Amino acid sequence: MKARHLFSLVAVVALLLTACAQATPAVPTTSPAATTAPTAAPTLAPTKAPTVAPSAEQPKEGGTLKRGYVASPKNFSVWTWGSSGQSSVMQYMLSTLFGWCDDSLSKLCPDLAESWSAKDNQVFTFKLRKDVTWHDGEKFNADDVVFTLQRHLCPKCISTKTALLGNIKGAKAYKAGTSDTLEGLRKIDDYTVEIALEKADPLFLQLMASTPYFIAPEHILASVPPDQLEQSPWVTKQPIGTGPYKLVKWEVGQYEELERYDGYYHGRPHIEKVIFTHPAWEVGVAALESGELDIARVQVEHLPRLRKVQALNTMMMPVGLQVSLHVNQANPKFPEGKDLRFRQAIAYAIDRDRLMSEYYQGVYKKSDSLFNAAWLLPLPDDIKALAYNFNPDKSRALLKEMGWDSNRTIGYYKPTSFWFPADEIVISMLADVGIKVEARKLEVAALNEVRKNYEWEMIGLNSDCCSGIQASLWHDTFGCDRLYPTGNNQNGVCSQEAEDLGKKAEAATALEDQVKYYQGIARLYLKELWSVPVYREDWAWAFNKRVHGTGDPVVGFAGLQGTVAHFEDWWLSQ
């Protein structure tokens, strides 16, 4: 059975502001169309992973794979979201119970759990592999699974991944400290774990695969106080995992060097080392052209240039992130942000069709919905009718109605490393209707302080919510009790009607009821315009043709939305 390692889209959502690009560091010397969950319920039983397409050449041993990713990990916590760079490295070192077999998101494949069964979508039993060892040689078992999941929910634990696990029986009492045990999470024996839910959830396994929940070592971390896990050496210096590679060197913000783990349970990896560096966008493109990097994410505007390089292939990876303009609705010095007419004026001012065709070359599609999960689509006609199509005259009329001062200048904030020409185009479109904005490019740490104090007026093109199948993530981005930095509600949105619909959706056991309530939230999003939706973003990547063994490149390189990658099969030709 091939290795199944996840790189979740959910780990990326609402985190691009935390990503910090670096200049090209010195490194050790040794280097299709988007798909979402199908409307029909995905297969719950474990499925054998797809066979990797054979290469004309025989796999070669050794070599160093050089990966570039603009976002760098700040730690390796399995309990809290970090940058998207964190997950991209963690998928090489850590494992999950199971994951999606491919980008169709229609079948689940085993990893640490060799099999599982479900009773009434409420009680799930996982049979664990018996041949897995941690990188320090200790045996993996059920204690590790129970420990990791408990640490998401204990009273003093710090976790940003509790939405799904909160449905485990007894989770509320355990989190509140009124119970010493988490009733619905049980170790049956050394290699069997049971999870019982308070209410049946037909999407539990799919959502668990999409998060994902990497498993941490109980034998190393059990003695660490729950409120100190995020500061532990395992998180901040030396994570010990069960994956195909182990961390050997790490210069924070510069590079991570990984070395293959010979005791890997799916077989010894062909490639000896993997080195991640974190160059800025243009530097990364140049490194791809010169062969200094084998794989890197690039911007859409780089594709024509890279397609001319004979040694490279390019591809689009299905991500489906909604990219929006964010208007501060909680800044007392900017009361216009709370005025719906101002946000509508912004929406009508943006010529999204022109932006998609001229700048994004038709690769991206404009977004008019908070959700893009297939199980929530198609949207009812009344929601589609709420879309904000380009209408500059209507934009100007709204601004005049609210008494907007066209001589006023407001800030348009964005991380320096994620400032793109598209932002300049949007600024010019706003200026055309009388909204003057000043570009304020800040380093991530400085911008986070501005966000924390709600001192900003507008944040430029940036992801918010909600890609993938986990619709409940809307609450972390727009929930009344999820104001930044406690959650990702940076806009200061609070809709009690949406809160009530969200509670009904979480309580619903029938899929059709969940669809009804979540579509109700999507309707409110457009009516109240919590953010200004612009487009759905997929990611462009380039990779050197010397990298082999991935079969379908989308499966091998995307690893998004909980899809799988089998790194032990990768190999390098000369």
pLDDT value of residue 387: 94
Q: How far apart are CA 416 and CA 120, in angstroms?
A: 50
pLDDT higher than threshold 70 for residue 9: no
pLDDT value of residue 34: 32
Question: Is residue 297 classed as helix, strand or coil in its secondary structure?
Answer: strand
- Alpha-helical (H) ranges within 297-339 are 303-306
142 Cβ contact list (under 8 Å, min separation 6): 128, 187, 188, 189, 190, 191, 192, 193
Percent of the chain with pLDDT over 90: 60
Question: Is residue 357 classed as helix, strand or coil in its secondary structure?
Answer: helix
Longest distance between any two alpha carbons in the chain, whole Å: 71
pLDDT value of residue 210: 78
pLDDT tens by residue, 207-257 = 888 778 999 999 999 999 999 999 999 999 999 999 999 999 999 989 999
383 Cβ contact list (under 8 Å, min separation 6): 369, 519, 522, 523, 526
pLDDT value of residue 136: 97
pLDDT higher than threshold 90 for residue 301: no
Instruction: Indicate the Cα dihedral angle 266, 38, 196, 211, nearest 10°.
Output: 60
Q: Is the distance from CB of 19 to CB of 83 less than 8 angstroms?
A: yes
Q: Is the distance from CB of 119 to CB of 201 less than 8 angstroms?
A: no
Q: Is the distance from CB of 329 to CB of 491 less than 8 angstroms?
A: yes
Question: Is residue 472 classed as helix, strand or coil in its secondary structure?
Answer: helix
pLDDT higher than threshold 90 for residue 55: no
Burial of 29 (0-12, 13-18, 19+ CB in 10 A): exposed
pLDDT value of residue 23: 36
Question: For residue 209, what are its two tokens?
Answer: 């695969």
Mean pLDDT of 59-71: 93
- Alpha-helical (H) ranges within 103-141 are none
Q: Which of 127-136, 335-344, 416-425, 427-436 has the lowest mean pLDDT?
A: 416-425
Q: How far apart are CA 126 and CA 463, in angstroms?
A: 35
For residue 378, is the peptide bond before it cis, meaning its omega torsion is within 30 degrees of 0? yes
Question: For residue 435, what are its two tokens?
Answer: 């909204």
419-443 in b/e form (b: 16+ CB < 10 A) is: bbebbebbbebbeebbbebeebbbe
Q: How far apart are CA 361 and CA 230, in angstroms?
A: 42
Q: Is the distance from CB of 65 to CB of 570 less than 8 angstroms?
A: yes
Question: For residue 22, what are its two tokens?
Answer: 């670096």
Q: Is the distance from CB of 155 to CB of 90 less than 8 angstroms?
A: no
**With helix as H, strand as E and coil as C, how does 164-204 read?**
HHCCECCHHHHHHCCCCCCCCEEEEECCEEEEEECCCCCCH
Q: Is the distance from CB of 47 to CB of 109 less than 8 angstroms?
A: yes
Q: How far apart are CA 156 and CA 227, in angstroms?
A: 5
Under the banding of pLDDT at 50, 70 and 90, the label for residue 30 is very low
Burial of 308 (0-12, 13-18, 19+ CB in 10 A): exposed
Task: Please count the other Cβ atoms lying within 10 Å of the Cβ belonging to residue 237.
Answer: 12
pLDDT tens by residue, 100-145 = 876 666 788 899 999 999 999 999 999 999 999 999 999 999 999 9
Per DSSP bridges, beta strands 98-100 and 108-110 are antiparallel
The region, left, alpha or beta by phi > 0 then psi within -120 to 50, assigned to residue 105 is left
Q: Is the distance from CB of 78 to CB of 93 less than 8 angstroms?
A: no
pLDDT value of residue 1: 38
Under the banding of pLDDT at 50, 70 and 90, the label for residue 19 is very low
pLDDT value of residue 563: 56
pLDDT value of residue 37: 36
Q: Which of 20-24, 145-149, 352-356, 417-421 has the lowest mean pLDDT?
A: 20-24
Q: How far apart are CA 254 and CA 276, in angstroms?
A: 8
Burial of 23 (0-12, 13-18, 19+ CB in 10 A): exposed
Q: Is the distance from CB of 554 to CB of 318 less than 8 angstroms?
A: yes
pLDDT tens by residue, 244-274 = 999 999 999 899 999 999 999 999 999 999 9
Give me the phi and psi of 143, to 5 degrees please.
-60, -35
Under the banding of pLDDT at 50, 70 and 90, the label for residue 74 is confident
Average pLDDT, whole number, for the chain?
85
Counting every residue written for the chain, the total comes to 574
- In one letter, which amino acid is 292? E
Q: Is the distance from CB of 511 to CB of 278 less than 8 angstroms?
A: no
pTM: 0.80
Per the model's pLDDT, the better-predicted residue between 387 and 317 turns out to be 387
Mean pLDDT of 136-161: 94
pLDDT higher than threshold 60 for residue 6: no
Question: Is residue 32 classed as helix, strand or coil in its secondary structure?
Answer: coil
Q: Which of 155-164, 244-253, 339-348 has the lowest mean pLDDT?
A: 155-164
Domains of the chain, start order: 5-25+61-294+546-572 (3.40.190.10), 319-537 (3.10.105.10)
Give me the phi and psi of 327, to 5 degrees please.
-110, 130
Q: Is the distance from CB of 191 to CB of 130 less than 8 angstroms?
A: yes
pLDDT value of residue 241: 98
pLDDT value of residue 291: 97
The region, left, alpha or beta by phi > 0 then psi within -120 to 50, assigned to residue 559 is left
pLDDT higher than threshold 50 for residue 16: no
Under the banding of pLDDT at 50, 70 and 90, the label for residue 337 is very high
